[in-house]
Amino acid sequence: MTTVTAVTENAEDADNPYALSHLDALESEAVHIFREVAGEFERPVILFSGGKDSIVMLHLALKAFAPAAVPFSLLHVDTGHNFPEVLDYRDRTVERHGLRLHVASVQDFIDRGELRERPDGTRNPLQTVPLLDAIDKGRFDAVFGGGRRDEEKARAKERVFSLRDEFGGWDPRRQRPELWQLYNGKHSPGEHVRVFPLSNWTELDVWQYIAREKIELPAIYYAHEREVFARSGMWLSPGEWGGPKDGESLERRQVRYRTVGDMSCTGAVDSDADTIEAVIAEIAASRLTERGATRADDKMSEAAMEDRKREGYF
């Protein structure tokens, strides 16, 4: 299909002592974005789910401000359907780096009657209301998200600095042009800016960077044996969130997760990649995108992500 030859480096780049690898270039750009926000905003916050993208974001923030502390707190929108390994990772990370964590709980909103459980049990789309509430209550003016443009076609249209209106909404037709590396963070009271330092990264870049920097991840990203059951073409983990139902049966399989989100809509994939090298080889050979393989919420409609983003989803 292609005629690319197995040359790993460009000869002219390799000969140039000033050449930066693509990971160094992406790292440099992301650090620049973190420092711009630190310099221009009053109350930034990092959305932190314990997933690989937010873990890489935090790692970059730690490097950007070292040896000083990261000048931002963390915000986790807790769907109530988390993988225990991920919550454990989250809490250990916060502890180790002396960070401050805000938790916005979907369960609390359901308990208070301000959100209603969906018939399909999926809580991922319910995150938007607690997220916007936390942004409002915390008076956060810049909210870092780990979203990447390669994830989804609506995200491919997203700016690095993305202005949100007082309702948290995104209007793709009214985005500011983004020129050079001059990010415009001006906003009116009540508005905030979503900031995506990993915009230009791909799933493979994220994994190559995790390997290079030797970043620890929750164990569920690596192949392990676990009980799963089949639903809508994905392997889901059983739990109090509502599975398996009648007619769905548990089986033990060797699996891993490519994304980590709400247990009700994040599927595992069959895999024996139990080391980072094996994971990278597996992703490079995969014929499915990470979201196509493992996220039910994006399959709801052709514009599922765009519609959620318009409402304030990150």
Partner 1 sequence: MSTNTGTGASTDAGTGADAADFVEAGAASLLRFATAGSVDDGKSTLVGRLLHDSKSVLADQLEAVERASLGRGQETPDLALLTDGLRAEREQGITIDVAYRYFATPRRRFILADTPGHVQYTRNMVTGASTAELAVVLVDARNGVVEQTRRHAAVAALLRVPHVVLAVNKMDLVDYAEPVFAAIAEEFTTYAASLGVPEITAIPISALAGDNVVSPSATMDWYGGPTVLEHLETVPVVADPSDDPARFPVQYVIRPQTAEHPDYRGYAGQIASGVLRVGDAVTALPSGNTSTIEAIDALGQAVDAAWAPQSVTVRLTDDIDISRGDLIAPTATAPDLSQDIEATVCHVADRPLTIGQRVLLKHTTRTVKALVKDIPSRLTLDDLSQHPAPGELAANDIGRVTLRTAEPLALDAYADSRRTGSFLLIDPADGTTLTAGMAGNAFAEAAAEAAVADGADDDEGWDF
| 1-60 residues near partner 1, rule: CB under 8 A | 1-10, 12-13, 16, 18-29, 31-32, 35-36, 38-39
Nearer to partner 1, 109 or 235 (CB): 235
Q: 């599975």: which residue's tokens? A: 243
100 makes contact with partner 1 (CB under 8 A): no
92 makes contact with partner 1 (CB under 8 A): no
Nearer to partner 1, 96 or 182 (CB): 182
Contact 140, 45 (CB under 8 A): yes
Q: How far is the CB of 97 from partner 1 (least distance, A)?
A: 13
Residue of 47, 126, 163, 195 that binds partner 1 (CB under 8 A): 163
Residue of 147, 245, 281, 300 that binds partner 1 (CB under 8 A): 281
Residues near 208 by beta carbon (within 8 Å), at least 6 away in sequence: 23, 280
Binding span for partner 1 by CB under 8 A among 107-115, 133-141, 182-190, 240-248: 182-190
Classify strands 161-164 and 192-195 as parallel, antiparallel or unpaired: antiparallel
297 makes contact with partner 1 (CB under 8 A): no
CA distances for 225 relative to 51, 250, 264, 294, 295, angstroms: 20, 13, 19, 17, 20
Q: 């790292």: which residue's tokens? A: 27
DSSP 70: P
Outline where 249-312 has alpha helix (H): 276-285, 290-294, 304-311
Contact 221, 256 (CB under 8 A): yes
Residue of 76, 81, 123, 149 that binds partner 1 (CB under 8 A): 149
154 makes contact with partner 1 (CB under 8 A): yes
191-230 residues in contact with partner 1 (CB under 8 A) are 199-200, 202, 204-205, 208-209, 211-212, 230
Residue of 73, 105, 107, 286 that binds partner 1 (CB under 8 A): 286
302 makes contact with partner 1 (CB under 8 A): yes
In degrees to the nearest 10, what's the CA dihedral of 185, 186, 187, 189? Answer: 110
Residues near 210 by beta carbon (within 8 Å), at least 6 away in sequence: 52, 55, 56, 217, 276
Binding span for partner 1 by CB under 8 A among 80-88, 100-108, 119-127, 278-286: 278-286
62-81 residues in contact with partner 1 (CB under 8 A) are 63-69
232-271 residues in contact with partner 1 (CB under 8 A) are 233-235, 258, 267, 269-271
Q: How far is the CB of 205 from partner 1 (least distance, A)?
A: 7
**Which burial class, exposed, middle or buried, applies to 4 when counting CB atoms under 10 A from its CB (0-12, 13-18, 19+)?**
exposed
Cα radius of gyration (the chain): 20
Binding span for partner 1 by CB under 8 A among 50-58, 114-122, 167-175, 239-247: 167-175
